[in-house]
Amino acid sequence: MTSPVPSPPAASVLDLAPVVPVVVLSDAADAVPLARALVAGGLPAIEVTLRTPAALDAVRAIAGEVPGAVVGAGTVITPEQVGACVAAGARFLVSPGWTEALLAAMRGSGVPFLPGVSTASEVVALLERGVREMKFFPAQAAGGTDYLKSLAGPLPQARFCPTGGIGPATAPGYLALPNVGCVGGSWMVPADAVGARDWARVEALARAAARLGAAASGAQV
């Protein structure tokens, strides 16, 4: 059977969706029903983290079987992982930090990417290299919304996807900032729901998360 042809990824990861689920899967068999639940709930951009042996198989399954999803790979920390993720079908890449070698590999991957930063110096270093869109991680521990507000003045050209410790109560505060394009979080894919394969609950949580993004932008879902 021929796999569905996905639509092209957005030029910017930050424009895919206001909330990006950060997914950890121990069983690749859960990838497709989980992704379908997230897409049905209004969250098409899905970051599958490379924290388990099942991650690449999960990316491959979502890319091949869930045409409404834009699947990416997170926790990318080596150049070798970049190639493996793109080969599996990842349409964007996210790293918790960056090195020159990792940045070069992500640049050469042909897909959008978000290198991770947590300090002003790291932001300036990426701006010097022509990178304007970044992951801010770990968001809450690194200073949260107050820190990002402080960066907006001297570094207005930088845009961020804050991830790390963000939940439904704090996400709107991040999304309201002018230098934040989206947030990442795992609250809509709780481990107990995934373990129980309670996809209806995942869909409901995703729908609520999508409404958070709409509320922050003044839109309607």
Catalytically active residues, by annotation: 47, 135
| Pairing status of strand 183-185 against strand 19-23 | parallel
Phi, psi of 216 (to 5 degrees): -65, -30
Helix axes 55-65, 79-88, angle to 10 degrees: 30
Helix axes 31-40, 55-65, angle to 10 degrees: 50
Q: What gap in Å lies between CA 51 and CA 53, rounded to an integer?
A: 7
Q: What gap in Å lies between CA 88 and CA 200, rounded to an integer?
A: 27
Q: Is residue 176 within 8 Å of residue 215, measured between CB atoms?
A: no
Q: In what order do the strands lie in the sheet with 113-114?
A: 113-114, 93-94, 70-74, 45-49, 19-23, 183-185
